[in-house]
Amino acid sequence: MSQVTFSARDRAGKGSAAARKIRKTGRIPAVLYGRKGSSITIDLDAHEFMTSVKGISESTIVKVDINGNVHEAFVKATQRDITDGAILHIDFYEIEGNALLRARVSLRIQGNPIGVREGGILENPLHDIEVECLPKDLPERLDVDVSGLKANQAIHVRDLVLGDGVKLISNPDQVIALVKFAKAEAAPAAEEAAAEGAVEGTAAPAAGAAAAAPAADKKAEKEK
């Protein structure tokens, strides 16, 4: 995937009123935050951003071209309208090419596990990990092949193969994916046992009542 470049321009106006005016022109207000506490207020073409941002994750490095000055950055946050999903604001975080950075890398599960084909259930409790590396070494995502997993087997963070220069920050013992067998058969068995118990429970009083009837008849004859 080629590196995405967003064309932006300096934004003079600040505040909610100025932001609303910018959105009415088909652009999105944004801020590019620097690593040393600096920030640049900008705006981008809404259609261009929506088209180019598809498939971009938190660990994808993009270029932000501000009036000819190109900055490499992450798309760290997007604020959306809760009614129609339109993007209202974007936060970019600039990176430095020769400085180590920490970022979260998404995990993409691939394959159909053996255990699932045998009736098990695949669980995927972890969706990303944290790493430290230079920007040039940062993977956009990591593919995790689960096709060889059998029942009661798991893949952990420590099983991932990271590139040279990429240091793992997340706990290596965290489970990424595992296959468990479903306990669907236990429920019908329990229901059947409960049903049998219910039948036996109703039969006992009936037998007792039947035994008590002759005794009551004999008592009545004596009283006569």
CB atoms within 10 A of CB 92: 25
Residue range 50-63, pLDDT digits in tens: 988 887 888 889 99
Q: Considering the chain, what is the average pLDDT of its residues?
A: 83
Nearest to 129 by CA among 152, 111, 106: 106
- Higher-confidence residue: 37 or 88? 88
Predicted pLDDT at 183:
62
CB atoms within 10 A of CB 215: 9
Predicted pLDDT at 94:
93
Using the predicted structure, report yes or no on whether residue 115 has a pLDDT greater than 80. Answer: yes
Identify the three-state secondary structure at position 118: coil
Alpha carbons 180 and 166: distance in angstroms, whole number: 31
DSSP, res 137: G
Query: If pLDDT is split at 50, 70 and 90, which confidence band does 213 have?
Result: very low
**CA 13, 17, 21, 24 torsion: positive or negative?**
positive
Q: Which two tokens stand for residue 149?
A: 């997993």
How far the first Cα of the chain sits from its last, in Å, is 104
Share of the chain above pLDDT 90, in %: 58
What are the b/e assignments for 166-175, b being 16+ CB within 10 Å? Answer: beeebeeeee
Contacts (Cβ under 8 Å, ≥6 apart) of 76: 33, 58, 91, 92, 93
φ, ψ dihedrals at 33, nearest 5° = -90, 130
Contacts (Cβ under 8 Å, ≥6 apart) of 181: 115, 119, 120, 121, 151, 152
Predicted pLDDT at 219:
47
